[in-house]
Amino acid sequence: MPSASRKQPASWLIRQASSFCDRAGPGSEMYALERFILSPYEDSNQPPSPPFPASADGSGIVCAVPYIGMIAGLKEGFSMYRLLVLALLVAVTGCVVAPPRWTESDVAGANDFEASLALWQEIRAEIATDPQSPNAANYRSMVERLGSRLAYLRTEEIRLHLDQNRLESGSVPLAELDRLAPLVSGLRDWDTSVWNMVEGEIVQERERTETEIHNAKQRLTSRSALDRPVERVRLHELIADLSGSDSDRAAAEREREETHARLLSAARESIDTTDFSRALELIGLAMTLKPADASVQALEERARAGVYAGQLSAALERGDIQDAEAVFEKVSRQSWSSSARSELIMPIELLAGYYQANLRDMLNSLRFEAAYRSLVNMRELRNWLGGDLNLTAGERAFAELMFELAASAGAQGLHGTEYGFLLLLEEFDPDFIALDRLRREAAERVTSSAIQWVSTPAIRGDEQTQNVGSRVASAVAAYLLDNIPLDVRIVEREHLDEIRREREIDQDPLRAERNRGLRAADLLIQGSVLEMRVDQEDRSGRRTVRAVTGRRQVPNPAYETYRADRGRRSDGPDAPPQTIEEITEEDISLEVSIHRKTGSIAVSYRLVEAESANVLRTNSINRRREYVDEASEGIELGDFSQPFKLADLPSDGEVINELVEEVALAMGEDLMQVLASPENRYFENCQRYANEGDFVAAAEECAKAAVLIDNKGQERAEVHGKLRQMTLNSGLRPD
């Protein structure tokens, strides 16, 4: 039994117990407290020193402190002491609360679905293990919040799946709804209200899909196998899409194959009975079901050839050649297999025979455009049929007639029409004797009349400005030749009366040969120098400037301060200089003069059509230039030196030259808007004459546009086609 001397004071026991209870870790209170109390009886040489586990985290058994008084009053006797210790341990154990394993930070840190689900499962398992735990209420709150989060994330996943698998009709396939069942059922454990909501949405989606399937099946039962076959296939495919089942997909594919076979069989029967239109209709339905089927494409080509052959034959029977030509144009734009071509050979040969039979009559009746179209069509028919491409008798007769018409047009001075007939001759008989020379000479004559002959600009002025006008005129002429050399020719003409006289000479049949080298101008550029002046203004005055005139050495205040601080000591290496340089500034008055030279020019001009005296364009140009410089006297004062300076201004002649260049540039750019690209104007004239029914004048204008376009290497198809049409309709007769 322990002696009374080994008992410790109550105050000491309380302090030790309190310290221990604050430091003991979770799960170690009973052992630690027992060691603390029993230690005085086990080791009489040391004061009580309870062992604390290394895991102690400060959680306490502070509630044991009230029982320390019982320890202080212990009597002798080990058995009684053990009983009291047991009572104390029971009391302490009853008041200890373990800290929670999870906190709000754990819940907040579970951001994604997987982390939230793992935490939800762990906390839920802990609650199931000890539902009466003091932390159970807090755990249940965490589980509820985590469940709401999981339900929200799973709901978003379900709705995304619905949207991704929704059909164009808005319904979701039943198979996809079935795949969502496990996901939906899991919502019940997380959030009952969300589960009820999502379950209701799934039920609505299912009812909508089932209703659409029911309606499709009703429409399907009302269609027979031959009634709207493509629609039946589409209904089967719709049912398969809505159900999503493999059996429905197989049924839809089987329906497609059977319908496709029935349509092709019916199409072949229609072809055998020469009902090509019906066959083409059935084949079109079959191609809707299987567009890439090569056998269907071959059958469609054969039926299409039969339809065109029927249309050609019907048009020929009616004598409607234009309709027959339109059908053949469609045929010629398509490629055909040998079997399909066989359906078209007979009616196309009939059309060729028609052209051949009527060609001579067209030529005799001078219906040149109809004959040309027949020959072109005959050539296309012959090419399509794979016939001989050598010159036929009809083509040779047409070519000889074009030669005669070209000679007749040339004799009448209609060189544009002559050029058009020679182009037609070249089209059908490019090896005609001397054709190249004839066409070249005709093109030169047309080019000569097409290129605009513009007189040298006559820019007049008074005695003082006449020279300026001549210089402007020369600069404008040079500008036009540099920028539009293929559109204009410059000739020396100054007066409108002279141009008219020369054109009358050129048009006189008796004097035309003698004056062949004299070419009158088509256009006249007239103008006047309205103003040309150069003014100079000189202004003198004085200017005062402040300048540095000298420098001198003065005591340095910094050195004086330095010496005062040093006293009698000599200067150190850091001593500032004893003196500094001071500049001397003075106000100096200079005599200066401002010289200003201003040049201005004004020119008016107009572009006149020589034959009619029509003014095609009129304008005026004003330009002004100003030059300023300064002159000053020379002076030297001390360090200041100002050299003598003279004003450097351009001479009057240089000012005039610059103004002349500016005016000529502006005038040339303005005239180019009228003179450049005359082929456009000729083509517009051609169309205007054609609308008026004057096909000869239209051919002349169109030929001018054609030769200019050829010279420039531009696209010629439209203009040459128009020239051909105007030439064929010119109404000329062979001599």
Q: Does a structural domain hold residue 261?
A: no
Q: Does a structural domain hold residue 590?
A: yes
Q: Does a structural domain hold residue 234?
A: no
In total, how many domains does the chain have?
2
Q: Does a structural domain hold residue 16?
A: yes
Q: Which of 59, 78, 95 is the last residue of a domain?
A: 95
Contact 521, 493 (CB under 8 A): yes
SS (H, E, C) 598-610: EEEEEEEEEEEEC
Tokens of 56: 């102690």
Distance CA 534, CA 652 (A): 6
* Helices 338-364, 393-411: crossing angle, 10 deg rounding: 40
DSSP string, 409-458: HHHTT-HHHHHHHHHHHHHH-TT-TTHHHHHHHHHHHHHHHHSEEEEPPE
Distance CA 629, CA 465 (A): 27
Distance CA 517, CA 506 (A): 9
Contact 617, 671 (CB under 8 A): yes
Tokens of 587: 């106000």
- Please give the pLDDT value at position 507: 53
Structural domain including 563 reads 465-482+506-651
Count of helix runs (H) and strand runs (E) in the chain: 28, 8
Which among 287, 271, 288 is positioned nearest to 279, based on CA atoms? 271
Q: Does a structural domain hold residue 48?
A: yes
Distance CA 247, CA 243 (A): 9
Contact 2, 75 (CB under 8 A): no
- Please give the pLDDT value at position 70: 46
Q: Which of 590, 618, 651 is the last residue of a domain?
A: 651
What's the one-letter identity of residue 728? L
3-class state of residue 534 by DSSP: strand
Q: Does a structural domain hold residue 569?
A: yes
CA dihedral 453, 459, 460, 464 (to 10 degrees): -150
Q: Which of 623, 651, 679 is the last residue of a domain?
A: 651
- Please give the pLDDT value at position 704: 92
- Please give the pLDDT value at position 520: 62
SS (H, E, C) 242-302: HHCCHHHHHHHHHHHHHHHHHHHHHHHHHHHCCCHHHHHHHHHHHHHHCCCCHHHHHHHHH
For the chain of 735 residues, list the mean pLDDT of each consecutive stretch of 10: 42 46 43 49 44 37 42 45 49 56 82 86 86 86 87 89 88 89 88 89 90 88 72 87 88 86 86 87 84 80 89 89 88 86 87 83 84 86 76 82 91 92 90 90 89 80 81 86 78 56 54 48 84 86 76 83 80 83 78 87 88 85 89 74 78 88 90 84 91 93 91 86 91 81
- DSSP H or E segment with residue 319: none
- Please give the pLDDT value at position 208: 92
Q: Does a structural domain hold residue 104?
A: no
Q: Does a structural domain hold residue 695?
A: no
Contact 98, 126 (CB under 8 A): no
Distance CA 355, CA 374 (A): 6
Distance CA 235, CA 218 (A): 10
Q: How far is CA 656 from the centre of its chain?
A: 51
Residue 24's CB is within 10 A of a number of other CB atoms, namely 28
SS (H, E, C) 667-728: HHHHHHHHHCCHHHHHHHHHHHHHHHCCHHHHHHHHHHHHHHHHHHCCCCHHHHHHHHHHHH
- Please give the pLDDT value at position 689: 93
pTM across the whole model: 0.51
